[in-house]
Amino acid sequence: MKREFEIYENAVLNEKFYSLKHESGLTVQVFPKKMSSLYAVYAVKFGSVNNRFSVGGKDFRIPDGVAHFLEHKMFEGKNGKNAFELYAEYGASANAYTSALNTAYLFSSAEDHEKCLGVLLDFVNDPYFTEENIKKEQGIISQEIGMYDDNPFSRLYYATLKLLYKNHPVRNNICGSVSSISEITPELLYNCYNAFYRPENMVLCVCGDISPERVLAIVDGKVTAKAGDAAVLTSPDEPDEINEKYAELKMDISKPMVSIAFKDNDIPTGAKNVLKRSLCMEILCELLFGKSSAFYDKMYAEGLISSSFSAEYIEYTDCGSVMIFDESGDDKALKEAVLSEVKNAIGKPFSKDDFERVRRSRYSESVRSFDSTDDIANDMMRSYFSGYNVFLEPDMLSAIKYSDVLECLSVFKEENCVTAKIIPTMQRG
């Protein structure tokens, strides 16, 4: 096994990072940067969508919310000390999060970087689950679920995903539900841990004032290859058709909220193509519906959309959709206006100058994300799991063509369109 880091450089950004496949199977990426804070993410490719898989030929269908539950439980150590206390010794601040695709454990430190890295690797590599500590966690996570259920944006988002997707597990709440997490046992957590928390399914991304060799020295002493079988994921069987057209819920909010979404059935294969599609879609959304568009200008002037109106592309590797959000009562009028704007754009598209302006603006956003150790480490992690390197985004933004964006217009089809709405429980004067 070679011990030399591969170096990735970007001349425009004047940045570089180092990547190495460690003999344990773990990928280690180090982005040296002269900052006071060092930021490290130790992540596993196990998110809320991974609820069907097989291990050693045996099929599993796990309850929703296991990845998130594991994340919570990992912080607890055998001696009753939680990981927060271990970091506190060095003044570092630690956290973790679970997304649809990954679970990430992280810290930010100003001193004692190597010791903090040691803590990070130690506690994630050392699970401890008992009947008792699981029962307690069920209580805490139920409160967290309650908090999200009180959040109208979260409720509208999941309502929209449930309309778009029949089977794809991205439709399920990341935390699961009170009833799904009640099925969790120590055995289940250990099975999932052993199947997913394996060096070859993980990455360590570090950004800050540190050399790759120093990071590697810590990894050498802490990470070894793991025996046993890895999880083999079962791909979700998602048809092109949407699940349902319309959903409506009621909450104690000040104004109706509406989400109009279009399911994208033309997601290409290959990691780079997926990224390209996603960036083109973002540019298209801005061109059609952003503050610089004729649509926004007219609709906002006439009071038909509110200042919270937004249109964005949401991508989860193998599924994606355009989501349009507004706080307004008339979802039908909004949908009609959106579709008519798309029809206009197909007949008489935006100019090349418009495209150039928006592309440049999005490029600048990408460059500016290389200012913080936090953004860089997280972006490195996501890029790695998606199958490319963190410099691809700005490079691709320099290369995207006008015609690439025009092609994306076909996503806006009536038959792919769903509407979710939240109506205020009471009218206020």
Query: Active-site positions?
Result: 71
Binds another protein by CB under 8 A, chosen from 177, 194, 344, 389: 177
Q: Which is nearer to another protein, 2 or 61 (CB)?
A: 61
Site for another protein contains 115 (CB under 8 A): no
Site for another protein contains 135 (CB under 8 A): no
Contact by Cβ (8 Å): 192, 66:
yes
Q: Which is nearer to another protein, 245 or 368 (CB)?
A: 368
Site for another protein contains 172 (CB under 8 A): yes
> What helix, strand, coil percent values describe the chain, rounded to 5?
45, 20, 35
Which structure tokens are listed for 184?
Answer: 């969790």
Binds another protein by CB under 8 A, chosen from 27, 64, 391, 392: 64
- Nearest CA to 158 among 144, 142, 175? 175
Rounded to a whole number of angstroms, the minimum distance from the CB of residue 370 to another protein is 6
- Nearest CA to 381 among 96, 125, 119? 96
Contact by Cβ (8 Å): 227, 238:
no
Binding positions for another protein, 247-266, rule CB under 8 A: 251-255
Helices then strands, counting H and E runs in the chain, come out as: 15, 15
Q: Which is nearer to another protein, 204 or 287 (CB)?
A: 287
Q: Which is nearer to another protein, 54 or 372 (CB)?
A: 372
Virtual CA dihedral for 153, 158, 159, 161, nearest 10 degrees? Answer: 130
Binds another protein by CB under 8 A, chosen from 55, 267, 367, 423: 367
Rounded to a whole number of angstroms, the minimum distance from the CB of residue 423 to another protein is 13
Rounded Cα distance between 171 and 148, Å, is 15
Q: Which is nearer to another protein, 98 or 108 (CB)?
A: 108
Site for another protein contains 19 (CB under 8 A): no
Rounded Cα distance between 67 and 191, Å, is 12
Rounded Cα distance between 219 and 216, Å, is 5
Q: Which is nearer to another protein, 97 or 300 (CB)?
A: 300
Binding positions for another protein, 39-58, rule CB under 8 A: none
Binds another protein by CB under 8 A, chosen from 130, 179, 273, 403: 179
Binding positions for another protein, 191-250, rule CB under 8 A: none
Q: What is the CA radius of gyration of the chain?
A: 23
Binds another protein by CB under 8 A, chosen from 139, 221, 228, 347: 139
Binds another protein by CB under 8 A, chosen from 2, 34, 58, 348: 34
Binds another protein by CB under 8 A, chosen from 332, 368, 401, 413: 368
Contact by Cβ (8 Å): 259, 325:
yes
Which structure tokens are listed for 103?
Answer: 């679970």
Rounded Cα distance between 44 and 102, Å, is 6
Rounded to a whole number of angstroms, the minimum distance from the CB of residue 372 to another protein is 6
Binds another protein by CB under 8 A, chosen from 99, 310, 361, 389: 361
Give the interface segment with another protein, choosing from 140-148, 188-196, 226-234, 274-282 (CB under 8 A).
140-148
Strand ranges of the sheet holding 58-61, from the earlier edge strand across to the other edge: 58-61, 52-55, 231-233
* Helix (H), strand (E) at residue 122: helix 113-124
